[in-house]
Amino acid sequence: MGVLLQVRNASKRYGDQILLDEADAVITDDEKVGFIGRNGAGKSTLLRVLLDEEQLDKGEVIRSSKLQVGYLRQHDPFLPDESALQFLMRDSGRPDWKCGEVAGEFELKGDYLNGPVTKLSGGWQTRVKLAALLLHEPNLLLLDEPTNFLDLRTQILLEHFLRHYKEACLIVSHDRAFLQSVCDHTLDLSRGKLTMFPGKVEAFLEYQREQREHEERSNAAIAAKIKHLETFIAKNKARASTATRARSKSKQLEKLELAEIASDEPTARIRPPQVDPRKGPALRCRDLAIGYGERKIATGIDLEIEHGSRAAIVGDNGQGKTTFLRTIVDSLEPLEGELRWGHGCDVGTYAQHVYTSLPEKKTVLEFLEYHAPSGTKDQEILDMAGALLFRGDAVKKKISVLSGGERARLCMASLLLSKHNILVLDEPGNHLDVDTIEALADALLAYQGTVVFTSHDRHFMKRVATCIIEVRDGGVTNYRGDYESYLYSVNQEIEAGERELATQMSKAPASAKAAAKPTAANPQRNERELRKQISTLEKTIARLDDQKKAANRKLMEATDPAEALRLHNEVASLTAQLAEAEDEWCKLQVPE
């Protein structure tokens, strides 16, 4: 285990805002670290410092001489008419077979690999940039919100790759499902301090909660003891017969101190629109075709969305999810067929990038007052502003000075002040931090109306969705299953593609084979021995899996950092043994 980066005594501030306050952290070459913290805490600033694009006010960043950083580029580095394969070869200097192998990890093949890269959607271009990044073979990947705007399939492909990536990663993300799947360590930035936890994000959040509850219980016990002693001293200090005991109790009192518990950071608590529940179909589509002019995106759409349901619109980027949403909210005219909302439906919309067109000169409060229904009390408006973290003087802020996240919260606040009984939400979680997304999910679960929404946040989708509508291959259909089963089916498709890729790469061109070491062919295996080997491996896998789950449970319950580290190492060892056994099992399934 070697140290790649060390942050020592780091301090950074902008005006009155302290982002780093003598913070320390170490990143080693065997860690995949999930970097979490509230919006505005300073995570992106620290990444810029690590990339040497920004300087600390005080402190230092010590970099290993072996450090090779890979950073996911946000700009488009492509040349006109250049194919993805040509770009990968130009950018990395690697041969075509190697570029094709890495591109295949992200399902970049056929026209996606050999056609003009500038014609690809944003999600597919991100896959190309990820492949280019990995071809440089960095030993530390820095990824800042890598799942933003990526469709589910690309997220899972990225997860699969990162889980098998042998080098270190530092990943900033609000997507708890992604971090939980990929990262084995958690780095938290809160109130200027960095805390490295030797475990996954869910275990860290549970550890935080338990530590706080322990401190609160201890403080309550100490406070009760202090009150008891103060009462005894007040009653007995004036009496000669009890004055000595009172003085003794005073000395005890002086030794008692309450532990300092950092005050809670503001947390959103969102009240949903108050509407009456309804029954029957809310939306009905019959032989509907959607698209732009002569270009049809999907046709033959026949579906119904029931009142009270929370319908998640799923599908890869570029398949037409946003087109479908724009059509049902009357932002786009249907090309063919019928689309009809039920009687009494009042539709409210939250669309991607809606916050970019807000009136810059209005204040937060003026904007909410303008959009609130007639008769809404001033206190209700202030309560909703406060729920979305606009408290005190923050309601007097001009929209022109608000960040992207603040503008998104303002748009959400104006929508939730309404009396709409239908909410259509396109990526409502973008630019919201983990806690605000959780509060939004709570509000939607309590909402008595109907919700139609898209999201790339799997944790949010699992909590909120009651039905799944898939946009795929030119159609829009009700998916017969819950979100968990949809995730499973996508994973199965990706794993099938990975197996196909592995088979193709085993037949690599001569240039690739020349570089590879020859392997002796295995002798013909006896069928009975093969079944015995498989059975033994299956028992081993089951045993290791049980041991790993038990160690994980203990890790989540551990409050002592040393014990947590020991358990983390045990989980890591079991994970490696399990992966080795599973790989061997997979090899035995392939006939030779």
pLDDT at 339 over 90: yes
Beta bridge partners of 314: 470
Q: pLDDT by residue (tens digit) across 133-180?
A: 889 889 999 988 888 767 788 888 888 888 888 899 999 888 888 999
Q: Which residue in the block uniquely carries the two structure tokens 């015995």?
A: 532
| Residue 507, pLDDT score | 59
Residue pLDDT, tens place only, 438-482:
889 999 999 999 999 998 888 899 999 999 999 988 999 888 778
Query: What is the three-class DSSP state of 1?
Result: coil
Average pLDDT over residues 489-503: 74
For the segment 395-427, what is each residue's pLDDT rounded down to a tens digit?
999 988 887 678 888 888 999 998 899 999 988
Give the pLDDT confidence of 377-400 residue by residue, as tens digits: 999 899 888 888 788 888 999 988
% of residues, the chain, pLDDT over 70: 85
- In the chain, % of residues over pLDDT 90: 33
When pLDDT is cut at 50, 70 and 90, the band that residue 243 belongs to is: confident
Given a cut of 80, whether residue 252 has pLDDT beyond it is yes
Please enumerate in sequence order all residues whose Cβ is within 8 A of that of 465, keeping only pairs 6 or more positions apart, or say none: 310, 311, 312, 482, 483
Q: In the numeric block, which tokens belong to residue 71?
A: 């950073």
pLDDT of residue 561: 53
Q: State residue 353's pLDDT score.
A: 58
Nearest Cα neighbor of 134 from 170, 103, 97, 156 is: 103
Most confident of 26-30, 158-162, 355-359: 26-30
Three-class secondary structure of residue 177 per DSSP: helix
546 pLDDT tier (thresholds 50, 70, 90): confident
pLDDT band at 558 (very low <50, low <70, confident <90, very high): low
Q: Give the amino acid at 120.
A: L
| Residue 117 to residue 84: CA distance in whole angstroms | 5
User: Band of the pLDDT at 557, cuts 50, 70, 90?
Assistant: low
Strand, coil or helix: 125:
helix
Concatenate the DSSP letters of all residues of 444-496 into one string. HHH--SEEEEE-S-HHHHHHH-SEEEEEETTEEEEESS-HHHHHHHHHHHHHH
- The tokens 């002086």 sit on which residue? 254
Burial status of residue 402 (CB atoms within 10 A of its CB: 0-12, 13-18, 19 or more): buried
Enclosing H/E stretch for 335? none
CA distance 186 to 191: 16
Given a contact cutoff of 8 angstroms between Cβ atoms, the answer to whether 425 and 433 are in contact is no
The residues near 353 (Cβ < 8 Å, ≥ 6 apart) are none
Instruction: State the residue for tokens 């040393």.
Output: 562
> Which has the higher per-residue pLDDT, 588 or 336?
336
What CA–CA distance (Å, rounded) separates 449 from 421? 5
Q: Answer whether 0.75 is exceeded by the pTM.
A: no
How much is the mean pLDDT over the chain? Answer: 83
Report pLDDT for 522.
Answer: 42
What confidence tier does 182 reach under pLDDT thresholds 50, 70, 90?
very high
Can you name the residues that pair with 3 across neighbouring β-strands?
A: 28
